[in-house]
Every structure is written in C-alpha cells, then in structure tokens.
C-alpha cells in the first residue's frame, strides 16, 4: 500500500484520532480509501467522561461498546480485541473507527503508534458541537431523550451560555478534549511530542493542505470527501463566551495555534503538520 520507507523501519501502526466535530467523519472516509489493500482494525470509543459525571452513563457506554465489538469482531470484550490486533496487525496498518484516544490505545498495543488527526479551531468546534447535540436531542421523541449522553442532555436543556457554565464546572472531564484524545498533557514540548507521536496532523480550516500532505506521505491519492457543512448563519461568539471557552479549552488552543502556525513541511523531520 505504502512506498514511504519511513513506516516499516519505525515499526509503527497508524492510529486515526477522531476529535469530535473536527472533520473526523470525512477523515475516516478518506483513510478507508487510502488504506485499501492494508488491514484496518476497528476501535470503539475509549474516552468516557460522561461516566465520571453520571455513573449510570457507564452502562450506556458499555452497551454501545458491546454492540460495536460484536458487530466488527463477534466479540464483546476489549481484552480479546486488543489481543487480536496485537496478533494480526503489521507496521503500516491502520487503527480506526470510533473516537479512540492515543493514551488508551498505546497502553494496550504492543507496536509503536503514530497519530493521524485533524484539529479544528477550539471555539468554533465547541459551538458546532453544541448546535449539533442540541438539534439531535430536541429532534428525539421525549421518551427517547432519557437515553442520551450527558452533554446531549445539557445541550438540549440549556442555552449556549448556560451550557458553557455547565462545561466549565466539569472542565476536569470535558475540557481540553482535543488534548485528551491526542494524549498531550502540556508537560512536554509540543514539537517533541509531535516528533515522537504524530505521523500527520493538520487543521480543518486548511483541509486541502492537510490532504495534499498526507497523500504525499502515503504515496497514493488521499482526499477528504465530505465538506464541513455548517448552518448558513450562526450567532457570533460573544466576548463573555470567548473568555469562558478560553478557560475550558486553554490547552487545546495552545495545541491548535501551534499546528496552525506550522509550515506545510517541517524541515527537521519531513513531516507535514498542517
């Protein structure tokens, strides 16, 4: 599949990290086409912040995991799936599917991992996610709204300002969500983290650049097939909302700004970051 000589010597599996509302569905579709002829191993969602807010949500999380694992592997235990991947995966294969975070996957996979991911400006991402969840929650029949995530329920119940207050009070669980998925805790220089962990990263706002860079690395066509469809008009984020968001996503903003400032090619590594 891949003539890039850097993949196999590094002995790495590639992990698609899908940050919510950051073009992740399009990223997954493009990678499915680009990795034709290679093994793609499904991973379910791994982060479960809802259960830290509401213990009853753990049952909902596990129910979804059981269903997805049975659909893809005819198994229901993650231990069995990790063992299967470790036995079958080869360097250059892809792990992808749900919203899996790097740290959890790294803990259970024996081969080294390299990340492929797209980031989105955190304030725009937060507003988009709120609108998406609110629409979905309010469209459900009332009796079905009970079986929703914590954040879906909050988005359906609150206006945007109150929703941000809700997030702020629980920012230990829901804050810096992109950093949670990538596994950057702020204690390491971003450049060092990227050199060790990231194969390809870019920003949604420059998606064509991201696609061109990844196609060059994979030495085969790659495109993002779905455009980011947003409402024609959306209320502007107020100064008060911006201040709140900058507290909730402080580290995400640092990460995004670093990636967005990178040139399309990094002279030191040849890796494209954005």
Using DSSP, state whether 59 is helix, strand or coil. helix
In the predicted structure, residue 268 carries a pLDDT above the cut 90: no
* Chain-centroid distance, C-alpha 142: 30
Q: What is the mean pLDDT of residues 7-29?
A: 86
Structure tokens at 18: 């899908």
Q: How confident is the model at residue 82 (pLDDT cuts 50, 70, 90)?
A: very high
Average pLDDT of the segment spanning 209-220: 93
Closest residue by Cα to residue 42 from 6, 61, 15, 4: 15
Residues 151-174: what's their mean pLDDT?
97
Q: Which tens digit of pLDDT belongs to each residue from 168-209?
A: 999 999 999 999 999 999 999 999 999 999 999 999 999 999
Is residue 118 within 8 Å of residue 199, measured between CB atoms? no
140: three-class secondary structure by DSSP: coil
Residue 235 is predicted with a pLDDT of 85
Contacts of 153 (CB under 8 A, 6+ apart): 137, 145
> 268 φ, ψ to 5°?
-75, -35
Q: What is the pLDDT of residues 103-131, one digit of tens each?
A: 999 999 999 999 999 999 999 999 999 99
Q: Could you tell me which of 179, 14, 214 has the C-alpha nearest to residue 105?
A: 14
In the sheet with 13-17, reading across from the earlier edge strand, the strands are: 40-43, 94-97, 13-17, 113-119, 198-203
Which residues lie closer than 8 Å to 178 by C-beta, 6 or more apart? 19, 22, 119, 122, 125, 249, 252, 255, 256
Terminal CA-CA length for the chain = 23
- Is the pLDDT confidence value at 234 over 90? no
> What pLDDT is recorded for position 97?
96
């Amino acid at each position: 599949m891949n003539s890039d000589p850097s993949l196999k010597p590094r002995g790495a599996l590639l992990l698609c990290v899908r940050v919510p509302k950051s073009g992740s569905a399009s990223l997954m579709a493009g990678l499915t086409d680009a990795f034709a002829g290679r093994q793609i191993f499904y991973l379910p969602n791994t982060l479960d912040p809802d259960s830290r807010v509401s213990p009853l949500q753990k049952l909902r999380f596990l129910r979804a995991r059981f269903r997805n694992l049975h659909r893809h592997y005819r198994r229901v235990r993650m231990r069995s799936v990790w063992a299967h991947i470790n036995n079958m995966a080869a360097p250059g294969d892809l792990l992808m599917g749900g919203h899996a975070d790097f740290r959890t996957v790294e803990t259970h996979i024996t081969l080294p991992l390299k990340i492929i991911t797209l980031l989105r400006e955190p304030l725009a991402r937060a507003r988009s996610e709120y609108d998406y969840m609110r629409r979905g929650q309010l469209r459900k029949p009332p009796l079905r709204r009970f079986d929703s995530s914590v954040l879906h329920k909050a988005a359906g119940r609150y206006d945007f300002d109150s929703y941000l207050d809700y997030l702020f009070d629980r920012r230990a669980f829901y804050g810096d969500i992109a950093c949670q998925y990538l596994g950057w805790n702020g204690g390491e220089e971003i450049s060092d983290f990227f050199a060790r962990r990231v194969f390809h990263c870019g920003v949604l706002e420059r998606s064509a650049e991201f696609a061109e860079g990844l196609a060059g690395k994979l030495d085969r066509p790659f495109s993002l097939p779905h455009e980011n469809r947003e409402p024609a008009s959306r209320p502007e984020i107020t100064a008060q909302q911006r201040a709140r968001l900058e507290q909730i996503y402080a580290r995400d903003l640092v990460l995004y700004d670093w990636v967005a400032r990178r040139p399309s090619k990094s002279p030191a590594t040849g890796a494209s970051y954005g």
